[in-house]
Chain A
Amino acid sequence: MIITLLVLAVLAYIFFTGGVPLLLTILLDFAIFSIVTLSLNLEVGHTGISQFGRVIAVIAGAFAVGAVPGRLLAWFMGLPHGAEYADDAVNYTVVPKLTELLASSVVLSVAFLLFSLILAAVCGALVGWLTSRPAIRLKEAYLGISLLAFGDLMMWVGHNWEPLVGGTTAVFIPDPFRVVWAYRFPAAVGTALVLVFLTYVLVRRLTKSPFGRALNMIRDSDVAAAVCGKDMVKLRTYSLMIGSALAAVGGAFYVIYAGTCTAVGFTRLTWTFWPWAYMMLGGIGSDVGILLGVLVLVVARTLILINRTTLFGFLMAWGIDPMWLEYALLGLVIIVVVLFMPHGLVPAKVEPVLPVERVRQVAERRPSEQPDSA
């Protein structure tokens, strides 16, 4: 509660000093990383999978949106749409024409946006299914490392295979928000917040449903879950597919908003380790906590970024870029959480299936003295 007030106070401070654009930047970061971290929490906090390759699904979404919808549009327009679409010289001339087309029609823009997000979700679910193949049989640490290596591989594929998303150069993405011209930025942020809201509602409903309780069961004891007739393989696969689809939407929205998709931007640091830090700070398994954790850290990062010349001027004198302190911040957050607050800001609560009153009634019905074991 205190932290929430504190964060709101800081947000107000940012609003008055930095103005609307800064506030919107923070909200956008908050929205995108909330989606990714909520999806991570579904897999880690609720299902107990050591997902050290969150970047895989994010890349799937981002690359899909970078490669496919623009090409389709170019194909309708009779513009170059093959492998050469991703060539930077061609891409540079083609995409502005596509953006112009989108800007001419609200319906087309919305359709383009929806199509991109759905495509990303499908691709995410696909890689989720793919990663679920090893995930159902490997031990936690093995799985984490395999997924980590796979995420790196995905990034390098994007970096080296030019026809996909331009390789070393960025591929541009037609802008569905150009249709609202001057309000492009607020519109994007608004859409992102709507997506967060939808993700949050979806995750909450899922985890409160029988499906979610079954997930918690296999997290706590897969043997007990199997004995109760829960199919562990199926549940873990679904959890990974849903989580990855959500993360892919996050990645897709990020590239749509940015207007470009650069493969090397999708590092494990930004898209796996930061979401882990957000999740650990917020509280693993606690969905409200996740939102708070993301908000706190995004605000902290932004504050460091905007005040870096004033706060860390003494470093600049040595030629040191205060940007590197971000790594230290990330590392320290993880260390402090692990050592001193293992349950995070908002510890996950055990939520009884029945109302508390009803549980108490059932408990009272039990005979007080157990029969002798003879």
Chain B
Amino acid sequence: MAPWLASGLVYASALALTAGGITLLYITTRTFNFAHASMATWGFYVAYTGTVLYGGSPYRYFPLSFLFGSLLGVVCYVGLNRPLLRRRAAEITLMMSTLGYDLVLLSGIQIYCDYLTHTFRLFPRRVTMSSYDAEIFGMSASPLILPLTAILILTVFHLFLAKTKFGISMRATIENPLLAGVSGMNSDKVYLAAWVVGGGMASLGGAFMSMAMTGTPVMGMMTLPFMFAGAILGGLYSLYGGILGGFLVGLAEYGAVYYLAMLGGPWVLGYRMAIPLLIMAIVLLVFPSGLAGLPWGSLPRKLAGAMRGVKS
């Protein structure tokens, strides 16, 4: 495995989960969830706290991360999102409200870090979680386990949506909330479920992410544009598109940074923020409906046409 690919796979799985969560919340509640940033960071700190204070492999605490994220999601839905949805608030208002929630969570993270430092003499502000990683076949386990876990979770979620009655009602509500309501489905429950799953995916994604990069209190805040880029690449209206989009953005970021740094020198590393922007620009200008709406057959012709358009 190329050196970048190992952590790249972990990071890409993390982005797949978070971008999937963003997409899920957007297609159910019309909310661009800014709080994904700090929800992810909280997920990381839950796993970190468990590993450092109670020992064992970090993986043992990943389910806890998921649960904690779900809890944060439920609080956000009940306290903030539901009253606004009932008032039929505009998309931008919904977005601002989650921004406020994100900042409150960020404040909580910082306070928690100070508490850990003071009480347990830890250094929670720069954490290398991968040093706690287990080993399989003589190499670190996370590049193998985490993508598989992500695939497993997404398969379970897919089966839930495709086969169970509540899953189908979720798809129905996403597609046509009015008809779902008059058919007797309670959209409240569906939205609550979306926040449970979406929040859990955000926090678990954050825990994944800390296995690939240095964990800091602003880890989620820094990677938020990448999560959104993944969701936009996926087309925003397709859950599976969002998941795939996040994965591709993650791989593209690590691959591009690695090879460009080899070619041009380490200074490239500072400009990785250009990558989500570039991806978003390409998506929005060339194929606005993202991966999901891509006409896979006629793509080469369309790209050629776009190139000609740029030249002329």
Contacts and interface: CB of A to CB of B under 8 A. Distances in A.
CB–CB under 8 A between A and B in the complex?
A: yes
Interface in A41-55: 50
A335 B104 contact: yes
Contacts of B118: 318-320
Given A321-B114, A333-B100, A149 B276 contact: yes
Contact of B270 (A140, A150, A160, A330): A160
B274 A153 contact: yes
A36 B199 CA distance: 34
29 contacts: A142-B280, A144-B92, A145-B32, A146-B280, A148-B224, A148-B228, A149-B280, A152-B225, A156-B270, A156-B271, A157-B271, A280-B96, A318-B118, A319-B114, A326-B107, A327-B104, A327-B110, A328-B104, A331-B100, A331-B103, A331-B107, A332-B104, A333-B100, A334-B96, A334-B97, A334-B103, A338-B89, A338-B93, A339-B80
Interface of A: 50, 134, 138, 140-142, 144-146, 148-150, 152-153, 156-157, 159-161, 269, 273, 276, 280, 315, 318-321, 324-328, 330-335, 338-339, 342
B119 interface: yes
A320 B95 contact: no
A194 B285 CA distance: 42
Given A160-B271, A330-B103, A334-B99, 16 more contacts: A142-B284, A146-B277, A148-B225, A152-B225, A159-B270, A160-B270, A161-B270, A315-B111, A318-B119, A324-B114, A331-B107, A332-B100, A338-B89, A338-B100, A339-B80, A339-B97
Contact of B104 (A152, A280, A331): A331
A149 B222 CA distance: 10
Contacts of A334: 96-97, 99-100, 103
B32 A152 contact: no
A149 B96 contact: no
B150 to A, nearest CB: 23
A149 B100 contact: no
A144 to B, nearest CB: 7
Interface in B83-103: 83-84, 89, 91-93, 95-97, 99-103
Nearest to B105: A331
Nearest to B31: A141
A87 to B, nearest CB: 16
Contacts of A318: 114-115, 118-119
B281 interface: yes
Contacts of B276: 149
B296 interface: no
Interface size class on chain B is 35 or more
B102 A331 contact: yes
Which secondary structure dominates chain B's binding surface? helix
Interface of B: 32, 80, 83-84, 89, 91-93, 95-97, 99-108, 110-111, 114-115, 117-119, 222, 224-225, 228-229, 232, 267, 270-274, 276-277, 280-281, 284
A343 to B, nearest CB: 12
Contacts of B97: 334-335, 338-339
A153 B277 CA distance: 8
B225 A145 contact: yes
Given A141-B92, A335-B101, A153 B273 contact: yes
B101 A331 contact: yes
A324 B272 CA distance: 28
A158 B233 CA distance: 27
A364 to B, nearest CB: 36
Given A50-B92, A141-B91, A327-B103, A335 B114 contact: no
B273 A141 contact: no
Contacts of A144: 32, 92, 95
Contacts of B95: 141, 144
A276 B95 CA distance: 12
Given A318-B115, A320-B111, A338-B84, A149 B228 contact: yes
B30 to A, nearest CB: 9
Contacts of A269: 103
Contacts of B104: 327-328, 331-332, 335
B167 to A, nearest CB: 27
A273 B277 contact: no
Contacts of A315: 111
Contacts of A150: 277
Contact of B281 (A146, A156, A160, A338): A146
A-B pairs with lowest CB-CB distance, top 10: A319-B118, A160-B270, A334-B100, A331-B103, A327-B107, A328-B107, A331-B104, A324-B110, A149-B225, A335-B100
